Amino acid sequence: MSSRRSSRSRQASGSRNITDDQINDLVSKLQQLLPEIRDRRSDKVSAAKVLQETCNYIRSLHREVDDLSERLSELLATTDTAQAAIIRNLLMQ
């Protein structure tokens, strides 16, 4: 794969210094972060699958953040300042 990579004119010239080991290292780190692959405990996960799971995971995290912010916006509209001060104290502890 490295030969194909270096023949691409699109890549920057610095890409030849990047080893496959480095990429594999990063991919394995990514693999440990993903909950599904980590729980399955298999070492034979291909890089493409890891990347696909990463994309799906980031998108699901985005969706969760969106839902949470919707919820927060509704909740913030109903609390008043006294409760906000209490919450701030709770957060500081």
Which positions touch another protein (CB under 8 A)? Answer: 1, 4-5, 8, 11-12, 14-15, 17-19, 22-23, 25-27, 29-30, 33, 47-48, 51-52, 54-55, 57-59, 61-62, 64-66, 68-79, 82-84, 86-88, 90-92
Helix axes 20-33, 47-78, angle to 10 degrees: 40
CB-nearer residue toward another protein: 41 or 93: 93
CA dihedral 53, 56, 61, 64 (to 10 degrees): -140
* Residue 53 and residue 36 in contact, taking contact as beta carbons nearer than 8 Å: yes
- Shortest Å, Cβ 40 to another protein: 18
